[in-house]
Amino acid sequence: MKKDISIIGVPMDLGQTRRGVDMGPSAIRYAGVVERLERVAHSIEDLGDIEIGSRERSDEAESNLKNLKAVAEASENLASKVDEVVTQGKFPLVLGGDHSIAIGTIAGLAKHYPNLGVIWYDAHGDLNTGDTSPSGNIHGMPLAVSLGLGDPTLTNIGGYGTKIKPENIVIIGARSLDEGEKVLIKEKGIKVFTMHEIDRLGMTAVMEEAIAYLKEQGADGVHLSLDLDGLDPHDAPGVGTPVLGGISYRESHLAMEMLEEADILTSAEFVEVNPILDERNKTATVAVALMGSLFGEKLL
């Protein structure tokens, strides 16, 4: 099914400490995302970038969460833009930027989808709060925030609290979880396919089960939040927190192809592309190739 796609860039690097990921949206555009999706006959509108504030001095912080005020402000702006795009009947495609941007993306989506399903394609759970985070980096917290857990400055983005239900989340590719995240996953009953399940069952079975699970939950919309560090660093080296032993390039294409065939997605975001850490824009090129598969590009 052809889609009217609105691209929103979020040059955010405030959710973590390694610089360069703010250039992710530009790198993805340079890798030809608009041209690639237009070739599959989609209608593409590039809305440009959300304005991002500056880093906060640590001695002025009122919280152990780094750059809390600036991240919250950017999240509000992004939530508003995503809300506007969905209201217009278009498909939001958000380009990051670090994974803290998902706070704003999901806040904008959940206004329209009260039973929003989320596929979190990531090496990490991003389920930390200020109490459990080893670093205070907000890019490790967006899924917890969307569940209504953590600092109210973040959980109330968009003017309301809890955005998603734990039973409507599927994490795919996890292989680096903090202790607090493991406790939360078990406590909330969040469905997780770690690399063990992907290796043991194969990506086909994992995606079939994930798609069927969200349909069983009655999700009225499904958002894909894809962190490029979900892939193995061999295939996607330009990320801030690489973890060995990840999902392969081909497995990721298969996952995207299966999501396209299922036709359940109502929004997507691709995050954590860092050109400074990359090899000749390889990671952004991989991101664009995966978007091609996600939006219907075929070999034959």
**Given this model, what pLDDT does residue 209 score?**
98
Active site residue 272: yes
Q: What's the rounded Cα separation, in Å, for the pair 100 and 115?
A: 21
**Residue 261: closest CA among 199, 208, 202:** 208
Q: How far apart are CA 121 and CA 223, in angstroms?
A: 11
Closest among 88, 115, 78, 109 to 5, alpha carbons compared: 88
Tell me how crowded residue 18 is: count the other CB atoms within 10 A of its CB.
16
Q: Which of 38-52, 188-202, 220-234 has the lowest mean pLDDT?
A: 38-52
Beta-bridged to residue 193, according to DSSP, are 172
Rounded (5°) CA angle 21-23-28: 105
The pTM of this model reads 0.97
* Nearest-angstrom CA–CA distance, 203 and 209: 10
Residue with tokens 């709060």: 129
Confidence label for 299 from pLDDT (cuts 50, 70 and 90): confident
Residue 61 has pLDDT above 90, yes or no: no
Integer Cα distance of 109 and 269 in angstroms: 12
Please confirm, yes or no, whether 253 is among the known catalytic residues: no
Question: Do 231 and 254 meet the contact criterion of CB atoms below 8 Å apart?
Answer: no
Report pLDDT for 55: 86
Tell me if residue 139 is catalytic.
yes
Say which of 42, 99, 223, 253 is annotated catalytic. 99
Active site residue 4: no
Domain 4-113+123-163+225-294 maps to which CATH number in 3.10.20.740, 3.40.800.10, 3.40.50.300, 3.20.20.100?
A: 3.40.800.10
Residues across the chain: 300
Least confident of 15-24, 51-60, 211-220, 244-253: 51-60
Catalytic residue, chosen from 22, 49, 83, 122, is: 122
pLDDT at position 59, please? 47
Q: What is the mean pLDDT of residues 113-141?
A: 97
Contacts of 83 (CB under 8 A, 6+ apart): 108, 111, 112, 158
Crossing angle of helices 249-262 and 282-294, rounded to 10° = 30
For 258-277, what is the mean pLDDT?
Answer: 98
At 32 the pLDDT is 98
What are the structural domain ranges in the chain?
4-113+123-163+225-294
Q: Is 199 a catalytic residue?
A: no
- Nearest residue to 94 via CA among 83, 103, 82, 110: 82
Per residue in 207-231, pLDDT (tens digit) is 999 999 999 999 999 999 999 999 9
161 alpha carbon, distance to own chain's centre:
19
Is 99 tagged catalytic? yes
234 is catalytic: no
C-alpha distance across the termini of the chain, in Å: 17
